[in-house]
Structure 1
């Protein structure tokens, strides 16, 4: 069965409470030009629905004054994530491990899609490694 490469409304990290929880309780690392915040929360820490993996992206107004530039960066970041998320998504589904990921673009210049795509691959591999270290939820 061929998987659809989508990033629907249910997969977006939009809840202010959940975003605050990711920043407050989650872990983070740098993968220039991104700062990655993530939270793997066994149990009920993240509201579990059909989609266990939530994703969000942000760009600083300080570095990019024009909304057009910020929106372009967010668009190509979401596109790179959408095309490469299946490995992490499968692992999260298999372990029944809800997860929330938030990327902040920290670079100072507009990126090219191929650079962003490569960095997203590095980030997802690192998140897969982190998810493997978490024991499966005891139901």
Structure 2
């Protein structure tokens, strides 16, 4: 898996997003939360991911877009480290649940923690 974030890897299907929030499972590493669901795609993508920031906590679109850019970049840089050997296909939505602004170094560290928690959850699923 390369370090790009191609169009085929972006979560865009409204039906899949609705299914993700209704049936998906969740893990968290404050201020990030990952909602995921095991699924299958028509294309070769192993994981389709989307990011979201609450409008309630960040009124200005400029602030929301900045945090979303940082989250996408942290995901893009770290995804090959975590998902090269994953056998299944997943849909991800990464949510920013914090109330204050954040820098890239912190968000990258939290993204690594979040992916570790996700992989641990997948290796030891709860009944």
TM-score, length basis structure 1: 0.83
Q: Secondary structure at the match of 1:91?
A: coil
d(CA) in 1 for partners of 2:16, 2:82 = 19
Q: Find the counterpart in structure 2 of residue 131 from structure 1.
A: 122
Q: Find the counterpart in structure 1 of residue 76 from structure 2.
A: 82
Q: How many residues align?
A: 125
Consecutive aligned runs of 4 or more in structure 1 exceeding 4 Å deviation:
none
- Residue ranges of structure 1 left out of the alignment (5+ in a row): 135-139
d(CA) in 1 for partners of 2:116, 2:55 = 28
Q: Find the counterpart in structure 2 of residue 4 from structure 1.
A: 2
Q: 1:62 is matched with which residue: 56, 59, 62? A: 56
- Aligned-residue Cα RMSD (Å) equals 1.5
Q: Any idea what the Cα deviations from partners look like across 1:47-87, whole Å, max 9, x if unmatched?
A: 24211201111011111011100000000000000000113
Q: 1:104 is matched with which residue: 95, 98, 117? A: 95
Q: Find the counterpart in structure 1 of residue 25 from structure 2.
A: 27
- Measured after TM superposition, the shift of residue 91 of structure 1 is 2.4
- Asked if the contact 1:91/1:128 (under 8 Å) is kept, the reply is no
- Asked if the contact 1:40/1:131 (under 8 Å) is kept, the reply is no
Change beyond 3 A, Cα 1:48–1:130: farther
- Residue ranges of structure 2 left out of the alignment (5+ in a row): none
d(CA) in 2 for partners of 1:35, 1:124 = 10
Q: 1:52 is matched with which residue: 46, 51, 57? A: 46
Q: Secondary structure at the match of 1:47?
A: coil
- Asked if the contact 1:25/1:39 (under 8 Å) is kept, the reply is yes
- Asked if the contact 2:11/2:49 (under 8 Å) is kept, the reply is yes
- Which structure would you say has the larger RCO, counting Cα contacts within 8 Å and 6 or more residues apart? 2
